[in-house]
Amino acid sequence: MSQSKTAPKKLFIKTYGCQMNVYDSERMVEALGGQGYVETQSPDDADMILLNTCHIREKAAEKVYSELGRYKHLKAERPDLKIGVAGCVAQAEGEEIIRRQPMVDLVVGPQSYHRLPEMEAKAGAGVKALDTDFPEEDKFEKLTSRPKAKRGPTAFLTVQEGCDKFCAFCVVPYTRGAEVSRPAGRVLSEARDLVERGVREITLLGQNVNAYHGHDKGLAGIIRDLAKIDGLERIRFTTSHPNDMDDALIAAHAEVEKLMPYLHLPVQAGSDKILKRMNRQHTAESYLKVVERLRAARPDLHLSGDFIVGFPEETEEDFQATLDLVEAVQYGSAFSFKYSERPGTPAAERPQVSEDEKDDRLQRLQALLGRQQRALQDAMVGREVGVLFEKPGRKPGQMGGKSDYLHAVHVAGEGLSVGDLRRVRIVESGANSLKGELL
């Protein structure tokens, strides 16, 4: 008789927040793969449910507790089901999560997910597992090698974590820790592995990615080395701080063909008074000078940004300064939010702007940003761009992908496959995407 194989255990992982959490979730799936887990898309048949959380948005912790409440019936039906909380809310809340939701078996911070296998074993033995340390070892180095399975054409690759800027509104330095950069050799090795598995575009990730110092020539140095990898056709990076946009990185935008002409460069506000209260350590003028230098290096560069309206003590005059900066830059896309208090951050203790004023300012800012985004998108009609195709389109015979400028583009064409990189002429601008024709 042949020996029966043990059925694999199923892992359901729900990811909140930024691209770094997406990358972290991929690596957590791989870490638990060695324990016999395979990923499932439904919590209903999972042997482990893992929430990879984000602490940036308002009431993040309460949303996690609400989500956990939805799994109580599953835990009641299957007491062997393991439930875990990972990421930044786990780091911030720690033991409080287990106290408020005793059904949670493990809580792991973003710097410790390489320890998931041993934590899973503890939970399997009926012991609550908690790890929110900032360990000295490199979690990436401790993780097992990525499996050689085929991948989609785009991938995230974390090169830097943590932040030393201590913006007055932000919890990242407290949940992700101080800035740490991965050694260049490890980054390049992982990139080559991704390319071998079908990846053609890599986005380098970091909370403050242009502060990367794992290469002796900084982020520009690792970008230039990545550009030498055969088969890697596109390079992007996010998120940047204006103060770390150095000469070498600006030059890379002019000289490295594989570095795409799209840059996310948050400013947060246009008022120097508010920028100082935010502890951003730059002025509106210094930001605009960086933008000017970048566009001199790469005239077709599309910029995106982050904005917070209604920051404590923001006046209408301060807000108008933000609108003036937006007019000066002309953004291709942007993310804008009302300020919301983060307990433990300096800004939470200051006089707050009323919710009505925040709502009004956000609507006005988003209207302006929306007009700019639409104008730049409409201006793409008639231009030729590269498009990396990522998935079938909504209509039969269509393929969808992203342009050099990160616009969504759909094309009708026979013989196109996922992973193809083709030249396309843009013929139409829709509400949220562009229509193209193959050249």
Give the pLDDT of residue 138.
57
Give the pLDDT of residue 2.
42
Distances, alpha carbon 427 to alpha carbons 377, 385, 410, in Å: 11, 11, 11
Q: What is the mean pLDDT of each run of 10 residues along the chain (439 residues)?
A: 63 85 84 86 93 74 87 92 88 85 89 83 88 63 58 91 84 75 94 95 94 96 98 96 96 98 97 96 97 98 96 96 98 93 77 94 97 96 97 86 96 88 96 93
Task: List residues bridging with 389 in a β-sheet.
Answer: 401
Distances, alpha carbon 72 to alpha carbons 43, 114, 188, 310, 389, in Å: 12, 27, 43, 38, 41
Binding residues for [4Fe-4S] cluster: 18, 54, 88, 163, 167, 170
Delimiting residues of CATH 3.30.750.210 domain(s) in the chain? 145-260
Delimiting residues of CATH 3.30.750.200 domain(s) in the chain? 265-379
Q: How far is CA 105 from the centre of its chain?
A: 27
Question: What Rg value do the Cα atoms of the chain yield, rounded?
Answer: 23
Q: Return the ∠ at Cα 43 (arms to 41 and 45), rounded to 5°.
A: 90
For the whole prediction, is pTM greater than 0.85? no
**Can you state the angle between helices 218-226 and 184-196, rounded to 10 degrees?**
30
Identify whether the C-beta of residue 303 lies closer than 8 Å to the C-beta of residue 269: no
Give the pLDDT of residue 166.
85
* CATH fold for domain 9-131: Rossmann fold (3.40.50)
Here the tokens at position 374 are 């639409």
- Structural domain 384-438, CATH architecture: Beta Barrel (2.40)
Delimiting residues of CATH 3.40.50.12160 domain(s) in the chain? 9-131
CATH code for the part of the protein at 265-379: 3.30.750.200
Delimiting residues of CATH 2.40.50.140 domain(s) in the chain? 384-438
Here the tokens at position 315 are 């006046």
Nearest one of 387, 400, 6, 366 to 201, comparing CA atoms:
387
CATH code for the part of the protein at 145-260: 3.30.750.210
Binding residues: 18, 54, 88, 163, 167, 170
